[in-house]
Amino acid sequence: MSFELETAPATAQNLRRVAIDPVSRVEGHGKVTILLDDQHRVHQVRLHIVEFRGFERFIQGRPYWEVPVMVQRLCGICPVSHHLAASKALDLVVGVDKLTPTAEKLRRLMHYGQILQSHALNFFHLSSPDLLFGFDAEVGKRNIIGVAEAHPDIAKKGILLRKFGQEVIRVTAGKRVHGTGSVPGGVNRSLTREERDLLLKDIYQMVAWSRDAVNIIKQLHQQNPALYDHFGTFRSNFMGLVAPDGSLDLYHGALRARDADGKILFDQVDYQTYNQLITEEVKPWSYMKFPFLNLLGPEEGWYKVGPLARVQNCDSIPTPFAEHERKELVAYAGHKPLHATLAYHWARMIEMLFAAETIKDLLHDDDLEGHDLMAPAGERRREGVGVIEAPRGTLFHHYQVADNDLVTMANLIVSTTNNNQAMNTAVREVAKQYLDGREITEGLLNHIEVAIRAFDPCLSCATHALGQMPLEVSLVDAEGTVIDRVCRDQGGVQHLS
Amino acid sequence: MTAPVLVFAWGNPSRGDDALGPRFAEAIEALALPGVECLTDFQLQVEHALDLKGRQRVLFVDASLSASTPFQVSPVQPARDASFTSHAMSPAAVLQTYRDVEGESPPPAWQLAIRGEAWELGAEPSTQALAHLAAALRWAEEWLATETIA
């Protein structure tokens, strides 16, 4: 697991630079730079994350009870994951080690609603245009509107799956956005019978559509294994939470990691000790850190998280349809870890099915209408770590709180940071496979973006303003002179020089 | 029953002038105007196409770095534009999605872009931006009270 193509060799001369800035159809801002020589040979590829780094300081000095609501403003795509990870960390600060059954089930319902809507967004909205039309298809077609036009049934299912997930969040969190449902020590509302019935009315359809979605991506894999098995494929360790029995649990568990061959590196490790397991390495060319497992060191210890890691890290999935699909994926891979980057989509749809089935089971549980919402506060602690399997992977929230209730330290390792090295490696593999020695075209550059989108990175932006999201590709010679610029924005694609 | 007029505003309330959209929606909601529903979110997303169903007219509201001062109003038509990043779906693209998935024309829609200046995390909206918001609200009260738009 080397860092090939991370830095161009000093002997390479007269390189020109291609930048994809920002990467489109990911959440937030990312940039890819590629150094090429005169023969279009690739010498260096880097995914840079233009990530805002001020949120941890923003939290410091605030009362701890504000934090679960405040952290939702990190991002518009996964606010619930931050809401719940912060709540879990602060449960410990208020001395609560075990929630009431009603509180835990409501939080689980909220979380699986988030998984459902987020996975539906990634697959149907962001990635299916590439998968259904091809990576080189006309750029104007490669979007959800193109899918809606060509496959209206698929587009509508995607929208309604996402809408359903948002409804689950609304009824559990109290509001469509910036909900306050989860608080340190429990929740502040339960479901009414009407709310349960509202969701129960549609959940069987959601399970059926999730099964359809798994079939779509499974068939794409099986029909074109040459592409799906090899596109951006690389070997790595993988890590995530598992339940005490080794099954998949996205809300709570202990840490397990495996090596690239599937051998367990550690298992059932309490995540309160995460900073003894993981170190975040800083590299001078990126704002985002590069975490690695201390056990293996920075060269060998980087890992991937998220759907493909989780579905292969667990021993089973506790819902029947998703477990059936997990077994099919494992069999397809020959009972060895599947490292194909595009298999993230397959695993993501298995998880979406798992989320839909879990929501269905929870909705039949009368505890959701219970009134025992808060666990009794125990002995106050000054520190807590909360970890959750967010849609994109393992999410760490760590807080220290002073006796005056103000947060003195906050450390967040978001899923996309955990996948930083893995995403960089994926784009280098794609650059080697598809770009090396060829004239660069928009379609070829989209191959790079396809690899990044497979990880569904969430780059924590959440700021937007009209007309601020163009994609600009610049060709720059060794002297820094711009040879060509192509701009893709809301007005379409145009050559600027 | 679905309210005939939808005000859909978006933005991050914790990022300075990006809060103009949500603040606009809060102010309109506080007026409790009959037949007007206000919705907010961080950004326009694909499922918001479904919020347009059954409306007679729609007003999209966001902060903007490029709008005229203090605000700019323009009609929006469905369009297959290139705004398909996950956090920058345009009102035109949402209208087009509605047309594609519902098989009918979306309701008439306008975009209100309120001029903002700074998007700092943790900052309050600037004094200048709040003045722009106040002007936009004065315009909107009249617009919302008008039954037929020319």
Report all structural domains of chain B as residue ranges with CATH numbers, in order of start.
5-120 (3.40.50.1450)
Give the pLDDT confidence score for residue A2 in this predicted structure.
Answer: 59
**Token digits of residue A497:** 């020089």
| Predicted confidence (pLDDT) per residue in A144-179, tens digit | 667 767 777 888 888 899 999 999 999 999 877 777
Percentage of chain A beyond pLDDT 90 is 59
Percentage of chain A beyond pLDDT 70 is 84
Out of A102-106, A144-148, A320-324, A417-421, least confident range: A144-148
Which region, left, alpha or beta, applies to residue A48 given φ > 0 means left and ψ of -120 to 50 means alpha? beta
Q: Name the residue among A55, A49, A15, A54 with its Cα closest to residue A32.
A: A49
Q: Compare CB distances from B13 to A73, A77, A144 and report the shortest one's residue.
A: A73
Q: What domains appear along chain A, each with residue ranges and CATH number? A: 16-50+426-495 (no CATH), 55-418 (1.10.645.10)
Q: How far apart are CA B116 and CA B63, in angstroms?
A: 6
Contacts with A297 (C-beta within 8 Å, 6 or more apart), sequence order: none
Give the mutation candidate from A80, A466, A473 for the B interface (greatest B CB count, under 10 A).
Answer: A466
What mean pLDDT comes out for the span A309-313? 98
The structure tokens 């000054």 sit at A382
Q: How confident is the model at residue A141 (pLDDT cuts 50, 70, 90)?
A: low
| Residue A298 clears pLDDT 70, i.e. is over it | yes
Q: How confident is the model at residue A253 (pLDDT cuts 50, 70, 90)?
A: very high
More confident residue, A288 or A239: A239
Q: Residue A413: enclosing H or E segment and its boundaries?
A: strand A407-413
Give the pLDDT confidence score for residue A464 in this predicted structure.
Answer: 24
| Predicted confidence (pLDDT) per residue in B37-83, tens digit | 999 988 888 889 999 999 999 999 999 988 999 999 999 999 876 54
Task: Identify the top-confidence range among A38-52, A168-182, A369-383.
Answer: A369-383
Q: Compare CB distances from A465 to B50, B63, B101 and report the shortest one's residue.
A: B63
Give the pLDDT confidence score for residue A98 in this predicted structure.
Answer: 97
Q: How far apart are CA A280 and CA B33, in angstroms?
A: 52
Q: In what order do the strands lie in the sheet with A42-49?
A: A42-49, A30-36, A16-21, A471-476, A482-489, A492-495
Give the pLDDT confidence score for residue A490 in this predicted structure.
Answer: 42
Out of A150-159, A338-347, A457-466, B100-109, least confident range: A457-466
| Residue B134 clears pLDDT 90, i.e. is over it | yes
- CA angle in degrees (0–180, nearest 5) for A57-A294-A55: 10
In angstroms, the separation between the Cα of residue A320 and the nearest Cα of chain B is 29
| Residue A487 clears pLDDT 50, i.e. is over it | no
Q: How far apart are CA A18 and CA A40, in angstroms?
A: 11
In angstroms, the separation between the Cα of residue A99 and the nearest Cα of chain B is 30
Which region, left, alpha or beta, applies to residue A104 given φ > 0 means left and ψ of -120 to 50 means alpha? alpha
Interface contact A412, partner B, CB < 8 A: no
What mean pLDDT comes out for the span B89-106? 89
Out of A42-56, A232-246, A315-329, B110-124, least confident range: A42-56
Contacts with A478 (C-beta within 8 Å, 6 or more apart), sequence order: A13, A14, A15, A16
What mean pLDDT comes out for the span A170-190? 89
Q: How confident is the model at residue A479 (pLDDT cuts 50, 70, 90)?
A: low
More confident residue, A278 or A479: A278
Q: How far apart are CA A14 and CA A35, in angstroms?
A: 10
- DSSP states along A169-202: HHHHHSSSSS---EETTEES----HHHHHHHHHH
Interface contact B65, partner A, CB < 8 A: yes
In angstroms, the separation between the Cα of residue A134 and the nearest Cα of chain B is 17
Q: Compare CB distances from B101 to A54, A159, A463 and report the shortest one's residue.
A: A159
**CB contacts, 8 Å: A468 with chain B:** 65, 88
Cis link prior to A22 (omega < 30° from 0)?
Answer: yes
Q: How far apart are CA A99 and CA A373, in angstroms?
A: 8
Q: How confident is the model at residue A102 (pLDDT cuts 50, 70, 90)?
A: very high
Q: How confident is the model at residue A393 (pLDDT cuts 50, 70, 90)?
A: very high
Q: How far is CA A137 from CA A24, A25, A156, A255, in A?
A: 15, 16, 22, 41
What mean pLDDT comes out for the span A116-124? 89
Helix (H, G, I), strand (E, B) or coil at A238: strand
More confident residue, B73 or B121: B73
In angstroms, the separation between the Cα of residue B136 and the nearest Cα of chain A is 17
Give the mutation candidate from A156, A463, A486, A488 for the B interface (greatest B CB count, under 10 A).
Answer: A463
Interface contact B88, partner A, CB < 8 A: yes
Q: Compare CB distances from A162 to B13, B14, B46 and report the shortest one's residue.
A: B46
Q: How far apart are CA A325 and CA A331, in angstroms?
A: 10
Give the pLDDT confidence score for residue A38 in this predicted structure.
Answer: 79
**CB contacts, 8 Å: B14 with chain A:** 58, 70, 73
Which ipTM value was assigned to this complex? 0.79
Give the pLDDT confidence score for residue B140 in this predicted structure.
Answer: 97
Q: How confident is the model at residue A461 (pLDDT cuts 50, 70, 90)?
A: very low
A189 contacts A373 by C-beta, under 8 angstroms:
yes
| Residue A485 clears pLDDT 60, i.e. is over it | no
